[in-house]
Amino acid sequence: MKRLSIVLALSMVFVLMMSGGAMANNDDPISNILESEIEVTEVDEDIDVNIERLVVHTSLYEGYSFEFTLDNATICEVDDVKINLYRDDSKLATNELDSWEELDDESGLSSPFAPFGSFDYEEDGYWENTWHDSRFLVPDEGEVIVTINDEDYEETIDVDLDSDAEAFLPDEDDIELERLSGVSDGYSYEVVFNGFDSSHLDELDLNIYGENEKLATNTATDDFFALEENDWSSPIRFPTTYEYDDDNYWNNEWHESTLILAEDAELIIDGGEIEVKWEDVLENEDRISFPEEPVQLSWTLDDSVNVDKGDELTFDVEAEVAENVNWVDDVRYVIEVEKDDIEENDFDIIKIDEVEDLEGIMETFDYEDGKATGNWGPDGFTLEETKKTEFKVEFNEKGTYDLTVYAIQVE
């Protein structure tokens, strides 16, 4: 039994080996052969940006035209394009590409810079324009930065456009004064002028002058520059009659007293890029009201006072500016003391405010025809709103004294 089992096992192995049929050599092809020759070359894929020109443009718009092209790329492949203009290494303006529509096959672009509004960026739709500095400055350098796949490609160009830019830059001849006039309310001036679109300015100061002094300044606010108008009116009102905090267009500052009549007007644009002054142009002078007594005085003395010889008389004098007056410069008090046969040493002013033993004040008095006339504040002081002054007088001789105090303005 054991021998028979071995023979049977060998027979099974033999059958399995024979059933595989003819076996092919794995190194020999069993089909037709396809052949092709492939040549591999090194391709230059470097992307370059080239500035074609930065020039003054005056035909379709007034400003500057920046033109550039790309090598081995088209505009549809870019992630961002920024173009900057500089003057003395300070950035003047930036154009940033805002739309790529209809630019698929373009390898270059022209970018407009119109500082004074002669180009409609919103209608054009391609560029977002921003000015960082005065629009009157002429660029001397241009820069383009193209971003593709998070990599920046940059190029710069130096230019001299000062002479060419004179063809479109505004100057003082573009500004016209319509009037500097008194207003019927009696307490203000109106300045009306025109020139170019206010939305393309950055700074504007309007000054009025009188007696060769700058009287007041109106400074335009951001709301003024958003008006997009060419005709402007600026009220310069006495500060006690008008709240400029309620005016969205002007901030006002008075440098001198409102008692000085304005005669001249001056306009300063963008820190002095344009300065124009009109002299002796005031109209309707009679509409400006000046009070005959711009200073109003009151005191703590009664009409009649009794004082013992040798005693001190103390009283306060309060000065207040009149209505519609901002302040009064060079104010001086005049002190008059009348008495029959008045002589020096009949009285002494021994204190004014906190100043005692006033050296020299009695030397200001002149004695004539029973009247002694002196003053306090020989150099004058500026009266703003109100000022209270305490006087202390000592009477050394008996008699009836008539005391008078009033204010004058030192010439």
pLDDT tens figures, 304-339: 999 999 898 999 999 998 887 888 888 989 999 999
- Of residues 76 and 143, more confidence is placed in 143
Going along the chain from its start, the domains and CATH numbers come out as 48-165 (2.60.40), 172-287 (2.60.40), 295-409 (2.60.40.10)
Alpha helices in 63-114 (DSSP H): none
Nearest Cα to Cα of residue 278 among 174, 179, 169, 170: 179
C-alpha span between 66 and 75 (Å, rounded) = 16
pLDDT of residue 23: 52
Would the pLDDT of 84 be above 80?
yes
DSSP tag of 361: S
- Beta carbons within 8 Å of 13's beta carbon, 6+ residues apart: none
Q: For residues 270 and 195, give the distance between their C-alpha atoms in angstroms, rounded to a whole number.
A: 14
* Mean pLDDT of the residues in the chain: 86
Higher pLDDT, 273 or 90: 90
**Separation CA 64–CA 141 (nearest Å):** 12
Contact 376, 360 (CB under 8 A): no
* Region of poorest pLDDT, from 230-234, 305-309, 314-318, 369-373: 230-234
Q: CA 157: distance to chain centroid?
A: 30
Residue 217 in this model has a pLDDT that exceeds 60 = yes
Lowest average pLDDT, out of 43-47, 137-141, 194-198, 395-399, goes to 43-47
Answer yes or no: is pLDDT of 58 > 90: yes
Whether the full predicted model's pTM is greater than 0.85, yes or no, is no
First to last CA, the chain: 154
